[in-house]
């Protein structure tokens, strides 16, 4: 008979607790107060999808995720304590994989782009030349002088 603990270790992608735990890891590693939970949950989903490669990868990831859950990380409400816990595992393959995958997933999310003020890629809209290439209002005007040879 398969227990909840066995199911967690065998298939983290089908366990909501795994998703929540990974979302907490991503939020702790990449904290943004204005980001909604949904963007962190989508990043967690991307990590879970990427971790389901070979059976060995899947099992190794599930074991590390189970170990993280058993450490009490999910119950840490103090941001400093959660960050300290992640720092203690930052050299593990599990954390390196999770950080690298979540980094791309999080900052490649159009909702995150909007929250950060990035309008997204411009290629399909004709490029930046005619779409705000020179619309920075927080930089001083650049003084441009022509170079005159011989002077």
142's CB contacts (< 8 A; 6+ apart) are: none
Lowest pLDDT segment from 23-27, 83-87, 97-101, 145-149 = 145-149
Whether pLDDT at 76 is above 80: yes
Q: What is the distance between the alpha carbons of residues 98 and 87, in angstroms, rounded to a whole number?
A: 13
Lowest pLDDT segment from 18-27, 39-48, 65-74, 118-127 = 118-127
Whether pLDDT at 10 is above 90: no
pLDDT score, position 117:
86
Percentage of the residues of the chain whose pLDDT score is greater than 70:
83
Domain boundaries, the chain: 4-125
**103, 30 Cβ separation under 8 angstroms:** yes
pLDDT score, position 4:
44
149's CB contacts (< 8 A; 6+ apart) are: none
**52, 13 Cβ separation under 8 angstroms:** yes
Whether pLDDT at 140 is above 80: no
Mean local confidence (pLDDT), 84-110? 95
Whether pLDDT at 1 is above 70: no
């Amino acid at each position: 008979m398969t227990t909840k603990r066995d199911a967690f270790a065998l298939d983290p992608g089908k366990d909501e607790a795994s998703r929540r735990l990974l979302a907490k890891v991503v939020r702790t590693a990449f904290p943004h107060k204005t980001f909604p939970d949904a963007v962190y949950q989508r990043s967690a989903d991307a990590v879970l999808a990427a971790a389901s490669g070979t059976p060995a990868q899947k099992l190794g990831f599930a074991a590390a995720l189970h170990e993280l859950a058993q450490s009490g990380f999910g119950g840490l409400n103090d941001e400093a304590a959660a960050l300290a816990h992640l720092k203690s595992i930052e050299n593990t393959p599990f954390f390196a994989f999770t950080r690298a995958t979540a980094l791309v997933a999080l900052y490649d999310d159009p909702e995150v782009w909007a929250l950060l003020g990035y309008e997204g890629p411009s290629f399909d809209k004709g490029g930046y030349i005619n779409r705000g290439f020179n619309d920075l209002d927080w930089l001083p005007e650049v003084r441009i002088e022509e170079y005159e040879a011989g002077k």
